[in-house]
Amino acid sequence: MQDESGKAALGNPAVASATKAQNSLHLNGHNINQNGHNTTATPAPQPQFGSGAPSPAPSPVLVIPREQWGGKYEFLLSCVGYCVGLGNVWRFPYLCYRNGGGVFLIPYFIMLFVTGVPLFLMELSLGQYGAAGPITVWKCCPLLKGIGIGMLCVSCLVCLYYNVIIAWTFYYLASSLQSPLPWSCDAIANIGLCGNITTNSSAGRGLSPTERFWNERVLGVVNSEGLHDPGPVRWPLALCLLAAWIIIFLCMLKGIRSSGKVVYVTATFPYFVLIVLIIRGATLEGSLQGIAFYLTPDWSRLANAQVWNDAASQVFYSLGIGVGGLLSMASYNKFDNNVIRDTLIITGGNCCTSFFAGFAIFSILGHMAWKKGVPVGEVADTGPGLAFVAYPEALALLPGSVFWSIMFFLMLFMMGVDTLFGNMEGITTAVLDEFPHLRTNTLHKSLFLGTLCFCFYLMGLLLVTDGGIYWFTLIDSFSTSFGLIIITLFMCMGISFFYGVNQFCQDIIDMIRHCPPWCTKVLYYFKACWVFCTPFLLLLILIYIFMEMYNTSLHYGPYVYPRWGKALGVCIGATCCMQIPIWAIVALCKETGTLKDRFQKSIRPLNSWRVNLNSSTRVEQHMEPERVEAPFTVTLTDMDFTAMTWDAGSEA
């Protein structure tokens, strides 16, 4: 039922279809039935046709188009560079020899294919389908928005301490430009050390030149008593840290358009160095003893729960799962990118890199052990101890040590920068998606990135003090510990049971479009992992972490952390995972109805979830309301028809 003024207002054929549509609409104060629900007339303000000043049309809400990778190789190299980081060089080889040599590969591959690869595919698929960062992407299930906030917290913690490693690398790289190397026995200052004149009373053995250089010249840890005594900032390291953040800022200034080009160098150069080191190490005396030490199997280690926990932690550490970097990088993909193929390529490449890096590391460590006449186990180390003490000492024994040192630390720098790109991309994408106007204003975007990098630099100054290594170890130990496992566990269960694993698999098939038969078959395996295997293993790992955290103390070298320090670390990890219940409560409070109704509404995807911003057929979008309840009533006036174009094909 319409009056004459209503008909005059419509005035075009498209409106005829709108009046037939089965939606309950108010047209100039009059009702039309929709979905079989009769509605009563509701007073609505009438448009004033006779007024001299026409009513202004409401400005449409435009969807700002997202950037896309310049090519599929940019995305692949960015992900490979993000995953292939320092953990592949200084952590995997050590874990391999400590946990039974070649036997460690068994739990490693099991954890990789049951937890690592399925979660990797889940993150890539979620980001690519939603074309959004780690926070906005949870429009698919608003109840779990806290997962994205938690990922953001983990990314911030990782960026805070990870660039400190790059600063150490800068320091060593600059020190490698002199001959002889300042940590070698050929240096004049180290003649007494190499003759065992100076002893380390705490260790009861001779202090090597590399240990003295690392502890006194680089860290200054000998001047600090512990966590409570950070001491002054070490300004050479502070300048290196500033240079590292300036490089990160410049590389990310234009988003993926700049970082996507940089990875052609930073992601491929480490492979060149590893190949060169493997070839050089194979020609050294004693290298076979190092390789044998790396791969000799100890089958009894399979019964040790620590081995399985180490395998799981290495998978999470190297693949970068649950931090938001993968999700953010995938959000810039084309909608029809084959995400299953990319997952298999990236995870397979990461695994092979970890394995072959062990040959480069232990062949040279074997030569050092042979030259010093000690077992390989006495020279092997992990973490910073391997990268900045054991391996530099081994390089100092090689002919042309300056060249090999420059190559090694340049490789570490490239690996660190690539990983930091991914973490920073997770942070910036999350913020830019929440405040999309920053994408259109280059100046504001640059100011935001500069402010972010400067804030990280200021906070990172704590980690380059005399006692900074104690804070570094604390953040490193707890930022990616139980909090990260809880985040990934909720992500897996939320997608599987709230969003729906069948719907999620269908989304992947929709993206691939021309889905090969093998992709469909592989999805059955991933579906089983997402629903059963992966959550079960994550839960077991979480229980073991809590038991281990309760029974063991945290220490750096001979220093044992006080209880308040360990409690502070637990609070750091809890801050990340506590975002999940906090934002779940917020989502429930935003809904209406009973608690059950609120819960059901908060796990339903928002209407804007399925608006894919990377579609080439959509240049500008009018965003729909986030959620519309049925039956519903919408009041339309004349200016609505001047600002909107009704789709004539929407008739029931």
Question: Is the peptide bond preceding residue 65 cis, with omega within 30 degrees of 0?
Answer: no
CA distance linking residue 647 with residue 395, whole number of Å: 70
Annotated binding site for Na(+): 81, 84, 88, 318, 350, 418
CA distance linking residue 10 with residue 292, whole number of Å: 83
Q: Chain-wide mean pLDDT for the chain?
A: 81
Contacts of 430 by beta carbon, 8 Å cutoff, 6+ apart? 133, 134, 135, 136, 148, 151, 152, 324, 328
Annotated binding site: 81, 84, 88, 318, 350, 418
Runs of H (alpha helix) within 176-234: 191-194, 209-212
pLDDT, one tens digit per residue, over 345-360 is 999 999 999 888 889 8
Bridge partners (DSSP) of residue 25 are: 32, 634
The pLDDT value given to residue 381: 72
Could you give the angle at the alpha carbon of 601 between the alpha carbons of 598 and 606, nearest 5°?
145
Burial environment of residue 425 by CB neighbours within 10 A (0 to 12, 13 to 18, 19 or more) = buried
CA distance linking residue 112 with residue 102, whole number of Å: 16
Nearest to 147, CA basis, from 485, 605, 488, 538: 488
CA distance linking residue 218 with residue 239, whole number of Å: 13
Pairing state of beta strands 30-32 and 25-27? Answer: antiparallel
Phi, psi for 634 (deg, rounded to 5): -120, 130
Could you give the angle at the alpha carbon of 541 between the alpha carbons of 145 and 149, nearest 5°?
15
Bridge partners (DSSP) of residue 31 are: 26
Helix and strand counts by DSSP (H, E) for the chain: 31, 7
CA distance linking residue 46 with residue 647, whole number of Å: 25
Nearest to 328, CA basis, from 433, 436, 446: 433
Question: Is the peptide bond preceding residue 605 cis, with omega within 30 degrees of 0?
Answer: no
CA distance linking residue 119 with residue 124, whole number of Å: 9
Instruction: Say which amino acid occupies 459.
Output: M
Neighbours of 308 (CB within 10 A): 23
Q: Residue 2 to residues 8, 26, 31, 37, 352: CA-CA distances in angstroms?
A: 10, 10, 8, 18, 71
Taking the complete model, does pTM exceed 0.75, yes or no? yes
Rounded to a whole number, what is the distance in angstroms from the first to the last CA of the chain?
19
| Segments in the chain below pLDDT 50 | 1-61, 197-204, 612-625, 628-632, 643-652
In the block, which residue shows the tokens 């972010």?
452
The pLDDT value given to residue 581: 95
**Residues 409 and 396 sit within 8 Å (Cβ to Cβ):** no
CA distance linking residue 292 with residue 106, whole number of Å: 17
Give 3-state DSSP helix, strand, coil % of the chain, rounded to 5.
Answer: 70, 5, 30
CA distance linking residue 310 with residue 32, whole number of Å: 64
Neighbours of 651 (CB within 10 A): 11
Handedness of CA 266, 268, 274, 280 (dihedral sign): negative
The pLDDT value given to residue 103: 85
DSSP 270-330: HHHHHHHHHHHHHTSTTHHHHHHHHH---GGGGG-HHHHHHHHHHHHHHHTTTSSHHHHHH
CA distance linking residue 268 with residue 420, whole number of Å: 16
Domain ranges across the chain:
74-187+209-588
**Residues 423 and 206 sit within 8 Å (Cβ to Cβ):** no
- 213: tokens are 């250089």
CA distance linking residue 43 with residue 28, whole number of Å: 9
* Domain 74-187+209-588 -> CATH class: mainly alpha
SS3 556: strand
CA distance linking residue 377 with residue 576, whole number of Å: 37
What is the 8-class DSSP label of residue 176? Answer: T
Query: Residue 205: in which H helix or E strand, if any?
Result: strand 205-206
In the block, which residue shows the tokens 């309301």?
625
- 338: tokens are 């084959």
- 122: tokens are 């889940």
